Amino acid sequence: MSQGPENRSKRPPFALFAWLLVFIAGLFIFVFRYDHSSSRKQEWTPYEFEQNLEKGNIISAEIMPESDKILFVEGKFSDKVAADDTDLSVAREGDNLKSYSTRIYATDKLITQLQRNGVKVNYLQRDNWYKSLLFNVIVGILIIGFIYLLFTRQMRSAGKGAMQFGRSKARMILPEEHGKKFDDVAGCDEAKEETKEIVDYLKDPLKFKMLGGKIPRGALLSGPPGTGKTLMAKAVSGESGVPFFAISGSDFVEMFVGVGASRVRDMFDQARKHAPCLIFIDEIDAVGRSRFTGIGGGHDEREQTLNALLVEMDGLETQEGVIVLAATNRADVLDPALLRPGRFDRQIVIDLPDIKGRRQILGGHAKNIKLEPDTDLDAIARSTPGFSGADLANLINEAALLAARYNRTAATQQDLEEARDKVCFGRERRSRQIPDHERRLTAWHEAGHTIVNLFCKHGTPLHKVTIIPRGRALGMTMMVEKEDRYSRTKLEMLDGIAMSMGGRVAEELVFGDITSGAQQDISHATDIAHAMVCAFGMSEKLGPVKYDERSEHIYLGRDITRNESCSEATRQEIDKEVSRIIREGHDRAVQILTEQRAMLDKLALALLEKETMSADEIRTLLDLPDPEDVPRHVPQNVAVESAPESATDDTQTDGNE
């Protein structure tokens, strides 16, 4: 009965036994030769031999003629002689015998003296030398032949020989091995629609040929890390039912020149034999970066690999039936020749999921763990803007780990929220010892952020406030949007700056001093103000003009390649405008906290007692049940403009360290 591939893969390799046998044979020959040819023999001169012969020390002699006049003599001798000559043989037998060897002239006197002294003489023939030489030659030939057979066996093995480094490392995966379908991919419906055409072609290429249409030769999947680019490629292979060749961009280039180009050609040769099929190159920017850029030239080996890839995708001998999918999160650095139609005809963007996509992803991963029936995944989806699919999978896994830590039978809503905060900001550090005066500073600091946020009409909705250290922060005020936002207005940005200044202002009003805890607040407010003036054209004084345009090289440092697009006088005006916007936000925070000082103190004292409070608890404490009824302080005569989402941050974090 034949064994399966699993049993065959567990067998020890034949080469291991072969090399072990060679090692043992070599060791045996070495020891054998050493014992017989390197024994402790004394080399005598002819005079020393004659002297020992005269004294009767020599016991035996083996004589072998080397020529007609020269004899090679070796044998045993004893340097102890009996006191009287009557019992000489007995004395010799009890002695510890030693070995000697010498070369001496052949004379009749020598033979007579050997016989007279009772030496056991054994005459050897010269043919023994030839036998020893023949033995050594035969053993050497056998060892060399055996090693040669081992090398040829390895070189003939598929891709594992010593000279097979030019073969492709792409691994062919059959659709049934991974079993991924489009149903396993959530949060990127548009990307699935674009890839469905590739699937239809692989299933029925004749339909497209009859219409005269050409399917794209390649598709580039681009997007942030963790959004599911590799999963999408597997789903395309699973839906189409064709082989899937997977390789990383870094697997092409090795230390040997020309290996990368050879592997590219070999990979496409293997793919054409299994056409129709898919080739998936992960992290293609490792070999697909723009050529002829940078100071001092480019990487010749990498460029040869890229040239081979360009030719194989769309060259003179290109054949249909092989579709290339590639993934990268740096599409901006790829060579233009790689992105032209005929190679990567389509660039499919797999972006961060929206609230609907996040809900689907959470639901898919939640099937793998036990959840309490009252858990609300919709609330988690709303509170995780900017999370990728990998982040959401990590969130669900962290919730399961938290539930196991507290010996629960299922994860609760509290576990999900704690896992979200842990992924975003780090784990709570309750064991950290904080002095009472710093704890009071943190409470009033976070209360300042919260009160300003509650009294700003366009502020991001409050989620919860805590003074428990988490990550590098001693406390934080968290805000969460009710829905996904893709732009920001000028009023929302101004409210965000005022809210950032709330913590510093609370320290000034209550303690009459300021601390370093507002460092992140000031940096956050400065970034927003600078973007409003230089990028979004929201300054009435400077107008709708974009400043600080940077021309950055993709290989060189940003600082040494930055080109400023405005004069020094204009930069001074920009600095003045940024400073004015931040000062106005500071003044608004001072006005709100001065008027609502009682609420500020009440909330800070409650935080000292409870440490963490949700938005509903805070509104109940401050008697603010309806957000629409709260008076707002809004700047007058301010136009509303649109701004990208990157201009603001939905969570305020204070690093009081």
The first and second tokens of residue 58, run together, are 């020599």
**CA separation, residue 565 to residues 66, 530, 576 (Å):** 98, 15, 18
CA separation for the pair 577, 550 (Å, rounded): 20
Query: ∠ CA(654), CA(656), CA(657), 5° rounding?
Result: 135
The DSSP H or E segment spanning 122 is: strand 120-123
Clarify whether 446 is annotated catalytic.
yes
Look at residue 536 and give its three-state secondary structure. Answer: coil
296 HSE (CA, 13 A, CB side): 3
CA separation for the pair 642, 451 (Å, rounded): 26
Please, are residues 350 and 300 in contact by the beta-carbon 8 Å criterion? no
CA separation for the pair 535, 226 (Å, rounded): 29
The DSSP H or E segment spanning 150 is: helix 127-156
CA separation for the pair 496, 151 (Å, rounded): 71
End-to-end CA distance of the chain: 70
| Strands annotated E in 377-483 | 462-466, 475-479
**CA dihedral (579, 585, 587, 589) positive or negative:** negative
**CA dihedral (144, 149, 152, 157) positive or negative:** negative
Which member of 301, 446, 492, 507 is catalytic? 446
How long is the chain? Answer: 657
Cα-trace Rg, the chain: 43
Per-residue DSSP letter, 290: P
CA separation for the pair 416, 396 (Å, rounded): 7
The first and second tokens of residue 323, run together, are 């579709």
**CA separation, residue 216 to residues 206, 565, 581 (Å):** 15, 40, 51
CA dihedral 451, 455, 461, 467 (to 10 degrees): 0
Sequence-ordered list of residues with C-beta below 8 angstroms from that of 128, at least 6 positions apart, any chain = 64
The first and second tokens of residue 267, run together, are 């990979």
The first and second tokens of residue 419, run together, are 């896992």
The structure tokens 């899937």 sit at 244
**CA dihedral (620, 624, 626, 627) positive or negative:** negative
Please, are residues 239 and 323 in contact by the beta-carbon 8 Å criterion? no
The structure tokens 């497209």 sit at 208
Q: Output the DSSP codes for 79-103.
A: S---SSGGGHHHHHHHS--EEEEEE
Look at residue 488 and give its three-state secondary structure. Answer: strand
CA separation for the pair 549, 9 (Å, rounded): 59
Nearest in space to 75 (alpha carbons), one of 31, 34, 117: 117
Backbone angles phi, psi at 98, to 5 degrees: -125, 165
Please, are residues 643 and 487 in contact by the beta-carbon 8 Å criterion? yes
CA separation for the pair 317, 272 (Å, rounded): 12
Look at residue 481 and give its three-state secondary structure. Answer: coil
The first and second tokens of residue 177, run together, are 């091995």
Active site residues: 446
